Amino acid sequence: MRYRCAILGLGLSLLAVHASRVAAAEADLVLYDAHVITVDPKFSIASAVAVRGDKIIAVGGPEIAKAYHAPTMIDLHGRTLMPGFEDTHLHPKGKSPRDIEVTSANSMTELQQMLREKAKQLGTGQWITGSGWQEVQFKEDRNITKEDLDAAAPDNPVVLVRAGGHSSVGNSMALRLAHIDRNTPDPAGGLIEHEANGEPNGIIRERSDLYLKLVPRDQWADVKQSYVDRLRWLLSLGITSFFDASGTIDDEPVGKGGIANPPPNLTFHRAREIYAEQHYALPRVTMYISYPGHERLEAFGHHTGYGDDFVRIGPIGENVVDGGFTGPTAWLLADYKGRPGFRGKGRFTDAELQAMVDDAARLGWQMGLHAIGDAAIVQTVSAYDRALNSIPGQEHKGRDRRWFTCHFTIMPPAATMATMEKDNIMIAQQPNFEYDLEDRYEETLDPWRLEHNNSVATPHGKYHLLVAFGSDNLPIGPMVGLYAAITRKGRSGEVHGAEEAVSREAAIRMYTAEGAYLSWEEKAKGTLEVGKLADMIVLPGDPLTVPAEELLNMKVDMTFVGGKLVYDRGNTPVPDLTAF
């Protein structure tokens, strides 16, 4: 009897092995001989991953390649396989027929040649536009002024929006059309810059709408393909998920949240249309929704979490509580360096901000408001605190509402940090600002704020706050963010606030798993674990061990979304879209 049981047990074991092999044969993709950074809770390292459909079915060592025989078997020859990056703050932009590629100009001379060519193409009197410029890109190392634009396009109004979107420059014709002269007062929430003689120099801080409202509106059909191109381009950077911080519900039906004649921006509705047409071979997107007012928001009828794995609704945001340092008009608790009495500007009274936050809370929305200066963060956290502790959470979330501040550039006082810890208020941070805006910080910040801008280690380590990384387009590439987070170096190579640096493991987690947590998707993506979406990237080197400076130039070899190869360096044509 014992013998028969042993035979029966052996038979069952063989059947189990056979069944396992049958199941294993159904894998669609196996990647092996890899350095697999799983970013699981233990930050485990493996060497192979198997995928069936859009999900991971096995993670382990060399045995995976032997047990699973898929139609696609990829030997990575020791390269790194890790979760795709999740950028928690991007502004995808369409390309207007009026645009010049201002970011590709390396000097004022090159910029002026672009303007001349566009003026000839469009004809006299037509607006010329563009976006994404920074003074550091020009060999002159200075801002564009109206004189630079006038010299090339005197008979066309010109407006060029700076990277970050917090300022713009127009030429003399644009100033005249906007009715701005030496006597024009600063607009609400903004600043008009002037030359030494009192005349405006063409730069407007925080109120680019004074120019942009005059530019004839493009149609969605004119810019739709450029949005598709830019979304595909993100895949070449290893971004498999992102938060669109420019989202709206403007093109929903009137009476259900929408407006008549909506602008041609990427909206929740248009994103779903694009993704279906592109067979979902694009990075997953969570849409911020700019607060449209109570009536429209209530009429919309949906809230945070609505959608699917590819296009979903995120927080109300990033409605700006203050400006930024590209202005600079970020709202500080202390004077700007060398500017006695100037501390930037807030955009809301306490009552106005509280009304918006309370309304969104009652309607079941997550919050993700723009707050860069410490004064703005204090105001935002105070409004969050009152709402979180007086308005019940909606549905299953209860108090797990995962509200966050966008940017969190200047760390606020300890009392505000303690409130954030108490209320579990999170942070969508851009460590790349430390690299890209170094000159701005040095020009405007006192020594303490210079050392503690874009703090990561203190909020994460001391106050136990979740910090998720993104870029805000300055620049978009995640490698710059990783480099800045672990080195605290700016473009010059100088270290600012070494104590605010984090480990490579922590930085990678903040650029992958923590972003998924912000959208309640931590069980679906962000790490390479069985049962999760196979959103993965292949790197030629190991970001855990290569010299830090090598991160700045490290390219992505492959990008997978849901197990589908959507980018292969050398085999996938990618346009130059640095103006994204």
The answer as to whether 223 is a domain residue is no
For position 2, what pLDDT does the model report? 37
What's the CATH number where 341 sits? 3.20.20.140
What pLDDT band is residue 25 in, cutting at 50, 70 and 90? Answer: low
The answer to whether residue 156 scores a pLDDT higher than 50 is yes
- Residues 193, 328, single domain; the answer is no
For position 190, what pLDDT does the model report? 85
The answer to whether residue 19 scores a pLDDT higher than 70 is no
For position 14, what pLDDT does the model report? 33
Mark which of 163, 196, 212 sits at the end of a domain.
212
For position 575, what pLDDT does the model report? 59
What integer is the mean pLDDT of 54-59? 97
- Do the bridges between strand 128-133 and strand 158-162 make them parallel or antiparallel, or are there none, so unpaired? parallel
For position 399, what pLDDT does the model report? 65
- Residues 369, 493, single domain; the answer is yes
The answer as to whether 253 is a domain residue is no
What pLDDT band is residue 179 in, cutting at 50, 70 and 90? Answer: very high
The answer as to whether 97 is a domain residue is no
What integer is the mean pLDDT of 55-60? 97
The beta-strand segments (E) located in 346-425 are: 368-371, 404-407
For position 135, what pLDDT does the model report? 84
Exposed / middle / buried, residue 15 (Cβ in 10 Å: 0-12, 13-18, 19+) = exposed
- Residues 350, 489, single domain; the answer is yes
What pLDDT band is residue 52 in, cutting at 50, 70 and 90? Answer: very high
What domain range includes position 452? Answer: 318-502
What pLDDT band is residue 145 in, cutting at 50, 70 and 90? Answer: very high
- Residues 183, 326, single domain; the answer is no
- Residues 180, 323, single domain; the answer is no
The answer to whether residue 396 scores a pLDDT higher than 80 is no
Spacing of C-alpha 411 from chain mean position: 20
Q: Coil, strand, or helix at residue 545? A: coil
What integer is the mean pLDDT of 544-573? 94
- The CA distance from 316 to 304, in Å, is 8
Mean pLDDT of the chain: 91
What pLDDT band is residue 577 in, cutting at 50, 70 and 90? Answer: low
Nearest CA to 188 out of 325, 318, 336, 348 is that of 348
Q: How far is the CA of 202 from the CAs of 117, 161, 370, in angstroms?
A: 21, 11, 26
Mark which of 212, 246, 281 sits at the end of a domain.
212
For position 198, what pLDDT does the model report? 93
Q: At what angle do helices 374-388 and 350-362 cross, to 10 degrees?
A: 40
What's the CATH number where 173 sits? 3.10.310.70
- Residues 496, 354, single domain; the answer is yes
The answer as to whether 59 is a domain residue is no
For position 16, what pLDDT does the model report? 35
Name the domain count of the chain: 2
Exposed / middle / buried, residue 412 (Cβ in 10 Å: 0-12, 13-18, 19+) = buried
For position 17, what pLDDT does the model report? 35
Assessment of whether the complete model's pTM goes beyond 0.85: yes
The answer to whether residue 21 scores a pLDDT higher than 60 is no
The answer as to whether 88 is a domain residue is no
- Residues 376, 490, single domain; the answer is yes
- The CA distance from 206 to 196, in Å, is 21
What pLDDT band is residue 580 in, cutting at 50, 70 and 90? Answer: very low
The answer to whether residue 18 scores a pLDDT higher than 50 is no
Quick one: DSSP state of residue 494? Answer: -
For position 394, what pLDDT does the model report? 61
For position 93, what pLDDT does the model report? 85
Least confident of 17-26, 305-314, 402-411: 17-26
- The CA distance from 301 to 297, in Å, is 7
Mark which of 462, 478, 502 sits at the end of a domain.
502
Percent of the chain with pLDDT over 70: 93
Of all helices (H) and strands (E), which one includes residue 358? helix 350-362
DSSP assignment string, 300-312 = H---TT-B-SSEE
Each residue's pLDDT tens digit, 325-353: 877 789 999 999 999 999 998 999 999 99
The answer as to whether 116 is a domain residue is yes
Q: Residue 269: CB partners within 8 Å, gap ≥ 6?
A: 249, 251, 252
Each residue's pLDDT tens digit, 120-136: 999 999 999 998 888 88
- The CA distance from 350 to 52, in Å, is 52
The answer as to whether 414 is a domain residue is yes
The answer as to whether 427 is a domain residue is yes
Each residue's pLDDT tens digit, 191-241: 899 999 999 999 998 888 999 999 998 999 999 999 999 999 999 999 999
Q: How far is the CA of 160 from the CAs of 176, 249, 384, in angstroms?
A: 16, 26, 35
